[in-house]
Amino acid sequence: QKEVEQNSGPLSVPEGAIASLNCTYSDRGSQSFFWYRQYSGKSPELIMSIYSNGDKEDGRFTAQLNKASQYVSLLIRDSQPSDSATYLCAVLPTGGFKTIFGAGTRLFVKA
């Protein structure tokens, strides 16, 4: 069974701090990794994708991938109350069409 695991949280950080969200996956052959943000009652919104080991930065967001450790993370710098949402880690195994989603981490940013 291919799995994606996330800490369900809630993760609470003060405004302006760095929020660190973590995800591990079981299929060593996975090649594509995505982070989605989902506000309550809304649909998931793609915020980052990463395919190679290392860091990928986009504005306040940095995705980090370590395939040897089967670990992917999302850092949110200068966290804002508007970042409060559930963050879903998603992994696409090699050759597959089925994206495997983690259960999501709820993030609260306190003003």
Cα-Cα end-to-end distance for the chain: 40
Among all chains, which residue has been given the structure tokens 């696409």? 92
CA 51 to chain CA centroid, Å, is 13
Please say whether the beta carbons of 12 and 105 come within 8 A.
no
Under rule CB under 8 A, residue 107 binds other proteins: no
Nearest to other proteins of 31, 70 (CB atom): 31
Residues 24-53 as x/- pattern, contact with other proteins by CB under 8 A? -------xx-x-x-----xxxxx--x-x--
Closer CB to other proteins, 51 or 108, in the complex: 51
